[in-house]
């Protein structure tokens, strides 16, 4: 069944305490609480360093059935001039326990620096190394790129051949390079306003909800969507996600 999963980036953020998290809630209980108020979380710590397999297992077990974690791929694979050299970093990343999330493992996000420009052969060497299956489990991949050179149709064509998504990013400082390249959609909405109770104005949330319903109904109604309210007025991200979930019901 098609799903529109909505959430936030991480769950440990001090300003959320007393705003999203009830006062007095133990920090060890924050994932349990967050995973019952949003339907997905993007794990960001994996971008900066390796996590332990037992951590992934604990997160999997703390979240309820049907919950999904997306995972940000290691920067050691993406912050290279020659992406053909990323193989060892990719191998270490996937051997580090991420698949312990089991059925709760969603897409893996690969974020590239704003200085990285599109070169077809270079990116082909990266995309072709992304594992499509591990242990019989399909692995979905999404790329977030931040340079206008990626508006090249050759980039979309490359990703389409491998069913890799281009992140749909709502940000003033990033070019709009989203294209239909995969059987799922992945969005990072970065323009929440701390002055607004729900981060985004009601009419903006309604517009995004209409757009994601349309995405979900494409591909024969079998297209999952992953939507994260992240960065921007981050203190409002949980409220924005919860308001968005209500709109979609």
Contacts 24+ apart (CB under 8 A), 164-169: 164/127, 164/130, 165/107, 165/140, 165/141, 166/142, 167/109, 167/142, 167/143, 169/144
Could you tell me the sign of the dihedral formed by the alpha carbons of 162, 167, 168, 174, in that order? Answer: negative
Residues 227 and 20: their CA atoms lie apart, in Å, by: 19
How many CA within 13 A on the CB side of residue 119?
A: 12
Give the pLDDT of residue 220: 76
Q: What residue numbers bound the domain in which 122 lies?
A: 4-248
Q: What CA–CA distance (Å, rounded) separates 54 from 177?
A: 37
For the chain, the domain total comes to 1
- Between the alpha carbon of residue 81 and those of residues 31, 78, 84, 126, 145, the distances in Å are 36, 8, 9, 11, 14
Distance between CA atoms of 158 and 145, rounded to whole angstroms? 14
Q: Output the pLDDT for position 185.
A: 97
pLDDT, position 162 = 97
Domain harbouring 217, CATH code = 3.20.20.410
Per-residue confidence in pLDDT tens, the chain, 249 aa = 569 999 999 999 999 999 999 999 999 999 999 999 999 999 999 999 999 999 999 999 999 999 999 999 999 999 999 999 999 999 999 999 999 999 999 999 999 999 999 999 999 999 999 999 999 999 999 999 999 999 999 999 999 999 999 999 999 888 888 899 999 999 999 999 999 999 999 999 999 999 999 999 887 778 999 999 998 899 999 999 999 999 998
- State the chain's maximal CA–CA distance in angstroms: 53
The predicted pLDDT at position 1 comes to 53
Dihedral, CA of residue 203, residue 249, residue 168 and residue 108, to nearest 10: 150
The alpha carbon of 84 is separated from its chain's Cα centroid by a whole number of angstroms, namely 24
């Amino acid at each position: 069944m098609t799903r529109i999963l909505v959430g936030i980036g991480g769950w440990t953020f001090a300003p959320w305490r007393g705003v999203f998290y009830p006062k007095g809630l133990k920090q060890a209980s924050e994932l349990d609480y967050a995973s019952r108020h949003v339907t997905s979380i993007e794990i960001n710590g994996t971008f900066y360093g390796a996590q332990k397999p037992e951590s992934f297992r604990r997160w999997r077990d703390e979240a309820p059935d049907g919950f999904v974690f997306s995972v940000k791929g290691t920067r050691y694979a993406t912050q290279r001039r020659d992406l053909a050299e990323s193989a060892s970093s990719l191998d270490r990343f996937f051997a580090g326990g991420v698949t312990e999330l089991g059925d709760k493992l969603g897409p893996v996000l690969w974020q590239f620096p704003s200085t990285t420009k599109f070169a077809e052969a270079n990116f082909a060497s990266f995309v072709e190394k992304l594992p499509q299956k591990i242990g019989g489990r399909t692995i979905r991949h999404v790329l977030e790129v931040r340079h206008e050179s990626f508006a090249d149709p050759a980039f979309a064509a490359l990703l389409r051949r491998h069913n890799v998504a281009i992140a749909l990013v709502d940000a003033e400082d990033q070019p709009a390079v989203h294209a239909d390249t995969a059987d799922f959609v992945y969005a990072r909405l970065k323009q929440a306003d701390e002055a607004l109770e729900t981060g985004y104005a009601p009419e903006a949330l309604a517009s995004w909800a209409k757009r994601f319903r349309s995405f979900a109904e494409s591909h024969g109604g079998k297209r999952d969507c992953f939507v994260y309210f992240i960065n921007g007025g981050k203190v409002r991200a949980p409220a924005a996600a919860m308001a968005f979930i209500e709109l979609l019901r």
